[in-house]
Structure 1
Amino acid sequence: MASYKALYGRQCRSPIRLFDVGDTKLLGLDLVQDDIEKVKIIRERIISTQNRQKSYVDNQHQELEFMVRDKVFLKVSPMKRVMRFGKKGKLSLRYIGPFEILEKISAVAYRLALLLELSSIHLVFHVSMLRKYLYDPSHVIEAQGIQIAPDLSYEEVPVAILDRQVKKLWSKEITSVKVL
């Protein structure tokens, strides 16, 4: 099977062979053998590329597995320019919790014991959404009333106006407001 057909599931519509000027003397069996050699070279390069990419992934990949009754953090969806849990940008929370694992559904799915405030969210999460919680006695967890949407996003509500500025341009004035 040609490499193009192996990759895309259909025949290539252009000829595999690339001819140079004066190189069209090959006919019959020589042409077929030359094309077969080119297909072998293409397959070897595809396999070597796949192996290289797999080695990159294997170096950074770590298998996560949790036990029942372990504590884990839950990942909050990252969105640019959205204020989450009182902080905006790179200081905003990436994970909330810790939550206890109630049940191991499969090797990559876990059921968590969420707070009542998060009752609208499905209880089963993929392992990529979880992070292990290492117990620290000095760690104090604050319970806050947080409303999280089903897509794990958070909406901020303005509390007070802290500062107001008016910037004057040539033909207009622009008002800026700093909101808490």
Structure 2
Amino acid sequence: MSTTDHPQTDGQTERVNQVLEDMLRAYVSKKQTNWEEYLSILEFAYNSTKHSATGYNPFMLMHGFQPHSPTAVGFKQEKVEAVKNFLEDLNQMIEHAKRSIRQSQNRARHYADPHRRDVQFSAGEKVYLRVPVDSKTLKSGVCAKLSPRYCGPFTISRRLGEVTYELELPHSSKVFPVFNVS
């Protein structure tokens, strides 16, 4: 059993719950009383979205084909008025969600970009590593408050991506050797 204050599930389930909460937030009214109406649509949207880890969407992996989206069905030639209204409402909600996501991304970019800097290293250079607050293996000394904030210098063994590097750490560190520039 998992609650808000005491999450008792794995991290993947917690992350899925966060994604579904964000998706619900984009759809519900200001009163937040109609969220149950959108669960089936959100389930469809989540299960038909390609995941970065697998490269496939869950529906494709379970059933072997991609389902037809309600938005792919033309509602102009639809003769049943209730279906036509549903599809029009669905398209409006999707456009609203897209605008909300774009606004959120732009807002996050606005606050994050001033703090970013373009830093590049090459193999063989030495860098300092910021010690996380809860690190047991990289801290030195008994008192956590008096431990240094940075340790090293460590040699860069290779560049893995635009912002990720692999460091040559001591075998006693028990830390995964790949780090982000930030």
- Alignment TM-score > 0.5, same fold: no
Higher relative contact order (CA 8 A, sep 6+): 1
TM-score (norm 2): 0.41
Q: Which has the higher helix share?
A: 2
